Amino acid sequence: MSSTINTGSKSDQSDASGKLDLRGASGGGMFDYAPAPESVKAPIADTYGLFINGEFVDPSSGDRFETLNPSNEETLSMISSASVSDVDAAVQAARDALPEWSGLPGSVRGKYLYRIARRIQERARELAVLETLDGGKPIKESRDIDIPLAAAHFFYHAGWADKLEYAFPGKTPEPVGVCGQIIPWNFPFLMAAWKIAPALACGNTIVLKPAETTSLTALRLAEICQEVGLPKGVVNIVTGAGETGSALVDHPDVDKIAFTGSTGVGKMIAKATAPTNKRLTLELGGKSANIIFEDASIDQAVEGIVEGIYFNQGHVCCAGSRVFVQESVLDTVINKLGDRLASLRVGDPMDKNTDLGAINSKEQLGTINRYLETGTSEGATRHDVNPCEVPEKGYWCKPCFFTGVQPSHAIAREEIFGPVLAVMSFRTPDEALSRANNTPYGLAAGVWTDKGSKIFDMASKLDAGVVWLNTYNKFDPASPFGGFKESGFGREGGRHGLAAYLK
């Protein structure tokens, strides 16, 4: 790692007079909030190496790529691009570390996991700031959700490390071996924790590849591995683009691939690993449905819809991107949704009042904008009711929703991965079910009603890995998460998630 550090001040959106530019965060509506910029700074090095065998090393090719702050397009740092031979070195380090790590008593592995969890808590504010600078999500989300949940995953799996034989009675649990783990940019640190914690608890060693636009917090996790004295080679982190990921997938000495990302890349990985002995789990895309019955608490349901689709700018695999509302309450829901949308504060992700931050990358913004055009050209009506003025620089998309959506419209079928909601209606529970299930995906669903019988009936018939009832987007390390159909296979979290890392 280079010795020069900046204090993160490059990413402050201050003008020459030193005043913060928070135009986007002023919301509008009934009253204005005073700016509340996060004051903690996260030091960022000018360049980062690859984390191989417990050390940061330069990439063999010397190639580096920049990582940006998507809210102002400024360069934060230069990240190393791992070549085939770097990936090979990382896999070799993980292979060499395997006998010692898998041979440790579970209670000792557990101690390392507890140490990592506590160190994450100690460095939580810095990690949250870094996640927000690098990825664009609001600081209140990285601070209150991403980082605490990541620590919780390490705590939870620390507890399992010496109890694996109780998790699977009558079996002798053995680690799978060297695990290649590839993660996306929407929850960079949390996804790293989801992947690393169970694998370590079960005695595996790891080569992790973060997404190109959001490597910084994974590299901080590498520092934490050093700080807690994790044996060398147990966790290796190789940064780079898709080619680095496919070098990991194709490496003959990797025993398992765990992938979270798009369905397209997931299918390619499934093909590449099919003729090999590699194990595979895939957590892919979604087009999840929120179903609102007329007997629901409508205010609560509208809050849940908003949480379901506008959380993290809609960069959520299980986002409730389709909403089905019972016809008798459709107008009420649309009016309340419009009012709520108008009060969301879009702008500087580092402001503690911000509800929606920046879109993660220029490419993703382009994808979202294409869907917005297609939605209108296919005949749906777009409701753009948010009054925020977004900054000129950076990648921004204000939250919106469409009505008049037909099941055949692209915005009702395809994953947009942005703050864009398709609102549709239904008359009977059966119609709601068949329309909600009419998708190649099957990741999550939400049901809103005050009738317990309806809740259980719907939950048992929805083709989705997770069904939230009168709530949405709630996560817990003890609860397995994963999809059906084209949303992938395998579970992460809970006892089911451990099984994926054991023979």
**How remote is the C-alpha of 488 from its chain's centroid?**
15
Out of 212, 283, 307, 415, which one is annotated catalytic? 283
**Residue closer to ligand NAP (CB basis): 192 or 424:** 192
- CB of residue 24 vs ligand NAP: minimum separation in angstroms? 24
Residues that bind ligand NAP (CB under 6 A): 182-186, 209, 211-212, 241-242, 245-246, 249, 260-262, 265, 268-269, 283-286, 317, 415, 417, 443, 483, 488
- CB of residue 22 vs Mg ion: minimum separation in angstroms? 21
Q: Which two tokens stand for residue 29?
A: 């509506």
- CB of residue 212 vs Mg ion: minimum separation in angstroms? 8
Residues in the chain: 503
Q: Does 131 bind Mg ion (CB under 5 A)?
A: no
- CB of residue 59 vs Mg ion: minimum separation in angstroms? 18
**Residue closer to ligand NAP (CB basis): 309 or 443:** 443
61 binds, among Mg ion, ligand NAP, none (CB under 5 to 8 A by kind): none
Dist. CA 256–CA 398, nearest whole Å: 39
Q: What is the rounded radius of gyration, in angstroms, for the C-alpha atoms of the chain?
A: 22
134 binds, among ligand NAP, Mg ion, none (CB under 5 to 8 A by kind): Mg ion
Of the candidate residues 213, 217, 288, 487, the single one contacting Mg ion (CB under 5 A): 213
Give the contacts of 203 (CB within 8 A, at least 6 positions apart): 101, 102, 104, 106, 109, 174, 175
Is 126 designated active site?
A: no
Question: Taking CA 218 as the corner, what is the angle to CA 173 and CA 211, rounded to the nearest 5 degrees?
Answer: 100
Segment interacting with Mg ion, rule: CB under 5 A, options 207-215, 252-260, 349-357, 386-394: 207-215
Dist. CA 497–CA 168, nearest whole Å: 12
| CA nearest neighbour of 22 among 10, 11, 30, 34 | 34
- CB of residue 214 vs Mg ion: minimum separation in angstroms? 5
- CB of residue 146 vs ligand NAP: minimum separation in angstroms? 12
Q: Which two tokens stand for residue 132?
A: 């927000």
284 binds, among Mg ion, ligand NAP, none (CB under 5 to 8 A by kind): ligand NAP
Out of 179, 202, 225, 317, which one is annotated catalytic? 317
By 3-state DSSP, what share of the chain in percent is helix, strand and coil, each rounded to 5?
A: 40, 20, 40
Q: Which two tokens stand for residue 123?
A: 């460095």
Dist. CA 393–CA 72, nearest whole Å: 5
**Residue closer to ligand NAP (CB basis): 203 or 465:** 465
Q: Does 11 bind Mg ion (CB under 5 A)?
A: no
- CB of residue 142 vs ligand NAP: minimum separation in angstroms? 15
261 binds, among ligand NAP, Mg ion, none (CB under 5 to 8 A by kind): ligand NAP
Q: Does 134 bind Mg ion (CB under 5 A)?
A: yes
Burial class, 299, CB count within 10 angstroms (exposed 0-12 / middle 13-18 / buried 19+): exposed
**Residue closer to Mg ion (CB basis): 67 or 439:** 67
**Residue closer to Mg ion (CB basis): 68 or 200:** 68
Question: Taking CA 231 as the corner, what is the angle to CA 91 and CA 98, rounded to the nearest 5 degrees?
Answer: 45
Burial class, 363, CB count within 10 angstroms (exposed 0-12 / middle 13-18 / buried 19+): exposed
Is 141 designated active site?
A: no
Bridge partners of residue 78, in order along the sequence: 47, 66
| Number of residues engaging Mg ion in binding (CB under 5 A) | 4
**Residue closer to Mg ion (CB basis): 63 or 295:** 63
DSSP three-state, residue 55: strand
**Residue closer to Mg ion (CB basis): 134 or 146:** 134
Residue linked to tokens 């765990």:
258
Catalytically active residues are: 283, 317
Residues found near Mg ion in the complex (CB under 5 A): 67-68, 134, 213
